[in-house]
Chains A and B, each alone.
Chain A
């Protein structure tokens, strides 16, 4: 079957790739959104933590021979811990200042982490094997789906759903939302807001690392794997607005799909389509698709 002169197999293949990328975008912009919500800081180091997640997974698997499931949960936890220490030691000192300093401090962390890993491992990629039981393919009838890609989509969507559930439906999430709206008042109710802030940063960074672990078998694990990704995520966040969790997830997935289709029809635009859409959104709806006007 052929649609618009493109065989449907190729079209569906690219669509699938788009959904996989979109799943990464969704998890990453979700983490960025929850950090921004509470800390009012745009975490430039998000891509670096994504890379850190992939590297932690690689090192755990390489040196400790750890099982894939263990890695999938342990690596994000370790990275979240690193993130919380960073927040506790450094980021905390910048609250109350212009949020631009937070952006710059996390940017400087990118330089340290990326440079450090380049010193230790070089610029070339390290291969990360797909776990045995996920390496096959599934025949969906209309297309052949590599099992691991299917697994990534499911895992990423589960992570998004879990985050949404915790924030919207649990008492921890309620305190978090309270701290987002009125930090002083929440503190007055006896909730330890500084600790909540540290936890939030850890959670956001942990989500980025989770995406990194999922990405490790698909991309080569290398020091700069997160840095261009984070710029795309910024564009996505400008398009969707940082205000809403649902917005972050939907925009992330949607733009992944759009990118996939662009790769089929105008492949030379596939790396820039997200930025072009951002320009369009800025001209037509400057506050973003799901955004509230910022103060």
Chain B
């Protein structure tokens, strides 16, 4: 029941995404691309929060690093766009390894504060470094061509390239969650001492998932830089770190694609509320508050719960009780 509904919804969603460039009267494709970047960003972030139980309050550092690295390489060194995006992801992943290795020396709330402080360090780096254009950011980043054949100057071509890359990124997230590796991550989330006593090198697992999450976040940032032809300080600002947490919570952190729903909602909200200026922050805050107080499962989590509770003639196996794979 759950599965068919999920498949049907995904099919409709995918079809809608495919026809976006043909209905410019209905949706603005740049807006959809921006939302897609946040979808990948939030799902990658949730590898840590939802699936490993680690709250990183500094994920903007990875998103922004991806944006700046890609922007700088493409603009100043004329690196092909595809390699630029790849480099953005790789550098962000390396940064993720470093920050992750430091942050996991503490846990819980301290870890959140450490990642926040580290991301502030990254923020000051991009503010002061000679090549980032300080408050102006990197502007007029050329879009270039993808794989040397697809001209990204056209929004439609860019749209399908972005869609493919985001799709691949989401597939990586889904594969990770549903792999033996993902099961160990959940074991760490549920009972870390037991995971340790079972012989899993927990610290190494945490660093690996940090790296993966940071790398995917970096790719999301790189794409954002190519789409808007801009890498700005707001990409590394702690507000962005807060936004991605909100998206994840709102969508449902105990699901794989809940954060995608959350990203779509928040992105739409800030798009249409943009004319109201500072009110956006207030409204975001109120949504955040409501979410934490009464709605901790998130949209998709709530939906799953609702469907599960309904008595069904054929008893379906809930995802949580799947037998663990043997090693």
Contact = CB atoms under 8 A, between A and B. Distances in A.
Given A234-B116, A282-B106, A107 B288 contact: yes
Interface in B275-327: 277-286, 288-289, 292-293, 296
Interface in A51-84: none
Interface stretch (B16-24, B120-128, B141-149, B161-169): B120-128
A232 B123 CA distance: 13
Contacts of A109: 285, 289
A286 B110 CA distance: 10
Contact of A112 (B113, B118, B242, B282): B282
Contacts of A103: 55, 57, 109, 112
Interface string A85-127: 0000010011000111101110111111111101100000000
A100 B109 contact: yes
A94 B245 CA distance: 18
A2 B102 CA distance: 39
B120 A228 contact: yes
A286 B288 CA distance: 31
Interface in A243-295: 268, 271-272, 275-276, 278-279, 282-283, 286, 294
A176 interface: no
A238 B102 contact: no
B249 interface: yes
B106 A108 contact: no
B287 to A, nearest CB: 8
Contacts of A286: 105-106
A207 interface: no
B113 A234 contact: yes
B238 interface: yes
B288 A108 contact: yes
A221 interface: no
A238 B277 contact: no
Contacts, number: 115
B246 to A, nearest CB: 8
A233 to B, nearest CB: 9
Contacts of B285: 108-113, 115
Interface in B237-289: 238, 242, 245, 249, 277-286, 288-289
B232 interface: no
A104 B121 contact: no
A272 B124 contact: yes
Given A105-B292, A271-B124, A294 B55 contact: no
Q: Is the interface of A mostly helix, strand, loop or mixed?
A: helix
Contacts of B128: 268
A108 B128 CA distance: 29
B280 A115 contact: yes
A193 interface: no
B52 to A, nearest CB: 13
Given A100-B112, A231-B120, A294 B289 contact: no
Contacts of A35: none
Interface residues of A, number: 42
Contact of A238 (B110, B286, B288): B110
A94 B120 CA distance: 28
B47 interface: no
Contact of A99 (B108, B121, B296): B108
A42 B114 contact: no
A157 interface: no
Contacts of B245: 104, 107
Interface in A8-40: none
Nearest to A286: B105
Contact of B55 (A100, A118, A276): A100
Interface string A169-196: 0000000000000000000000000000
A118 B278 contact: yes
Given A42-B109, A105-B289, A278 B117 contact: yes
A227 B120 CA distance: 11
Contacts of A228: 120
27 contacts: A94-B292, A94-B293, A100-B112, A101-B296, A103-B55, A104-B245, A105-B289, A108-B286, A111-B281, A111-B288, A112-B289, A115-B284, A118-B277, A231-B116, A231-B120, A232-B120, A235-B120, A237-B113, A238-B106, A238-B113, A238-B114, A272-B121, A275-B118, A279-B102, A279-B121, A282-B105, A294-B110
Top 8 closest A-B pairs, CB basis? A115-B281, A111-B285, A108-B288, A112-B285, A115-B282, A118-B278, A235-B117, A286-B105
Given A111-B284, A275-B120, 14 more contacts: A90-B289, A100-B108, A100-B109, A101-B296, A108-B286, A108-B288, A111-B285, A119-B277, A228-B120, A238-B114, A268-B128, A275-B117, A275-B124, A294-B108
Interface of B: 55, 57, 102, 105-110, 112-114, 116-118, 120-121, 124-125, 128, 238, 242, 245, 249, 277-286, 288-289, 292-293, 296
